[in-house]
A = this chain, B = another copy of it.
Amino acid sequence: MAGNTFGTSFRLTTFGESHGPAIGGIIDGCPAGLAIDANIILHDLNRRRPGQSMITTQRNEPDTFEILSGIYEGVTTGAPIAFQIENQDHRPSDYDDMKTAYRPSHADFTYDQKFGHRDHRGSGRASARETAARVFAGSIARQLLNYYGITVQAFVSAVGPIKLKNDYDADLTKIESNIVRCPDDAVANEMIAYIEKLKKEGDTTGGVISCIIKGMLVGLGEPVFDKLHADLGKAMLSINAVHGFEYGSGFAGSAMTGSEHNDVFKNENGKIVTTTNNSGGIQGGISNGMDIAFRTAFKPVSTLMKEQETVNKEGQKVSLKAGGRHDACVVPRAVPIVEAMAALVIADHLLRDRNSKLVYQS
């Protein structure tokens, strides 16, 4: 069984390779009657696209999309929503020298072994271009969540060794105030300088994205396997280059004692809340109404502008150096992808939860 579908009740199936005519997808399960603003979708796509700032690749690929079904006069109909985003900037020639070589830490070797061939024009299905379809769908999910008062916001909390402290307390209004999407201008400037330095060296770096979900409904998440954070984790780990996920106290929490870590309940004007949020808004795999907080770790970009050793399909030693234009750090552009995948998970669980209790509803 192939794996191009995500979610159960709010379900996205995607298609498309970086060098084909288009990428896109079908969303099945979006309820009828939801007003969709195409400008919000465009805004989200623009935040992901290359060429948006001097630290990202200068490829000019404005993501224009077409909705083929499921939305009529701006409102969802309950039918599947099909969309496609044209690929405008095919340049197979950029990759010609990589036709036979397996690029280090890319999917060339594994795709070749699994499918009996690989897309020598680029990375085929393994290209980050695929994530544009996720951003589109996530934007629909986000608009569903807005209806319930839920917001999803992500930002860059680390670039290489440069880290934002107390990320979960960041000022979310400042995310878009700089090109690196770090809500602290001083730290952002350090990050930008670091990226520019690496760029000059033909090298790359990774980073971390933190995400906060506010206005959560209580009760989302399905025991025992589809815990809310388990599905968030899978969503994040399915994004290209992600090597780690943690929520709430995360890895650091493993070093704490139980008495430090436990989140004490209190009654705040009739609402039960916790005084701390080491649980990251999720207890027993189910949202408790506090903010959901998690982090996603990205490895450095594999495509380097410097010579690298590798082997080709025949196992012969070769060296290669990327041509074309590539990001030295994709993390700022991955912010809307993290938000999109998070929105897809929350929307899916919001719909899934409707059957947990007996309710008379026809």
Measured in the bound complex, the distance between the Cα atoms of B137 and A26 in whole Å is 16
Please state if B256 and A206 are interface contacts (CB–CB under 8 Å): yes
Cβ of A150 to closest chain B Cβ, rounded Å: 10
Chain B residue nearest to A328 in the complex (CB): B258
- Which chain B residues border A247 with CB–CB below 8 Å? 243-244
Q: Can you add 9 more A-B contacts, CB < 8 Å, to A15-B80, A32-B115, A205-B254?
A: A14-B224, A33-B358, A105-B279, A114-B221, A206-B254, A244-B245, A244-B246, A244-B254, A272-B315
Measured CB to CB, the nearest residue on chain B to A353 is B114
Q: Which one of A43-51, A56-64, A172-180, A299-307 contacts B? A: A299-307
Please tell me if the beta carbons of A261 and B300 are within 8 angstroms of each other in the complex. yes
Closest to A198 in B: B257
> Are A237 and B229 neighbours in the complex by a CB distance under 8 Å?
yes
Contacts of A6 in B (CB 8 A): 225
Total interface residues on A, CB under 8 Å, equals 155
Q: Are A227 and B218 in contact (CB under 8 A)?
A: no
Given the contacts A14-B224, A243-B248, A283-B110, A254 and B115 also touching, CB distance less than 8 Å: no
| Interface contact B227-A31, CB-CB below 8 Å | no
A195-237 interface bits toward B, Cβ cutoff 8 Å, 1 = contact, 0 = none: 0001000011111100000000111011111110111011111
Chain B residues whose CB sits within 8 angstroms of the CB of A260 once the complex forms: 300
